[in-house]
């Protein structure tokens, strides 16, 4: 009878044991690193470092795209190439956001003003494509570098919107608005005001490195597949809650 051990009772070799221990140590170290990244220090210091690194590298990587889009806007609809508008940032500080211009220069004085309707004639031909793909928002990397915005955060809102619902935005305004966020990946322009506020509030409740990274990654297919993209964003549809006074 063969006295050799059966496969079921074979003992691990020293190499297998060392590999298992190394894997366990690696997993433990990774968990410890994630715990530190997801702690309060990330929101206080790490998030800004992440923004600077990401926006800095991103600006270099997409600079040819930015130049090409700027040339396309200029060639098809003239100047100005960029659209700058006041938005409310952290602690209620107002800043001017950068975007590629997608509408006629005097759009705010025409039509529905700050709101947009389906087949809005104020939107330029290239502007319709830029809005659908969210490429009009790429220049916001400059706002991130300047410290006005973050890569991930609540939606950067108009002054009149924040003034209309100021009490509901108090906690949301404790952090920088983001180029992308829960609103962007959960419906974009198809969301109503109550939903936008709820998602922004949810984000502020728990800010972590892993959540920021997940939102950034989920933004890619959302933009490529044009999920939630719509030019039918009338005041009647969006503003589903009455003004809230202090």
Residue 154 lies in a domain: yes
Q: What is the spatial order of strands in the sheet that 94-100 belongs to? A: 94-100, 82-88, 157-158
Contact yes or no for 200/241 (Cβ under 8 A): no
Burial of 1 (0-12, 13-18, 19+ CB in 10 A): exposed
List the single range of 13-22, 77-86, 109-118, 128-137 with lowest mean pLDDT.
13-22
Give the count of domains, the chain. 1
96 inside domain: yes
- pLDDT value, residue 234: 74
Of 79-88, 113-122, 166-175, 194-203, the poorest mean pLDDT is in 113-122
- Does residue 155 lie in a domain region? yes
Residue 1 structure tokens: 């009878």
Query: Can you give the residue range of the structural domain that contains 81?
Result: 40-238
Residue 6 forms part of a structural domain: no
**CA angle (132 as vertex; 131, 138 as ends), nearest 5:** 50
Residue 18 placed within a domain: no
User: 80 near 105, Cβ under 8 Å?
Assistant: yes
Q: Is residue 24 part of a domain?
A: no
Is residue 83 domain-resident? Answer: yes
Structure tokens at 88: 């409310």
Instruction: Answer whether residue 125 is part of any domain.
Output: yes
């Amino acid at each position: 009878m063969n006295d050799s051990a059966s496969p079921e009772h074979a003992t691990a070799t020293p190499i297998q044991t060392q590999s298992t221990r190394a894997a366990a140590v690696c997993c433990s170290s990774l968990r410890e690193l994630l715990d530190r990244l997801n702690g309060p220090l990330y929101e206080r210091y790490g998030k800004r470092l992440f923004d600077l690194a990401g926006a800095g590298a991103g600006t270099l990587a997409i600079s040819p795209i930015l130049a090409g889009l700027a040339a396309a806007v200029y060639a098809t609809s003239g100047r100005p190439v960029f659209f700058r508008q006041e938005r409310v940032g952290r602690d209620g500080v107002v800043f001017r956001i950068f975007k590629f211009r997608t509408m006629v220069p005097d759009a705010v004085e025409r039509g529905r003003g700050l709101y947009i309707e389906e087949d809005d004639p104020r939107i330029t031909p290239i502007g319709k494509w830029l809005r659908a793909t969210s490429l009009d928002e790429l220049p916001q990397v400059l706002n991130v570098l300047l410290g006005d915005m973050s890569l991930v955060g609540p939606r950067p809102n108009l002054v009149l919107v924040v003034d209309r619902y100021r009490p509901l935005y108090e906690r949301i305004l404790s952090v920088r608005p983001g180029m992308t966020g829960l609103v962007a990946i959960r419906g974009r322009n198809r969301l109503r005001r109550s939903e936008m506020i709820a998602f922004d509030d949810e984000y502020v409740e728990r800010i972590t490195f892993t959540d920021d990274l997940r939102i950034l990654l989920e933004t890619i297919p959302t933009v490529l597949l044009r999920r939630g993209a719509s030019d039918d964003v009338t005041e009647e549809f969006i503003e589903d809650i009455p003004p809230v006074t202090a």
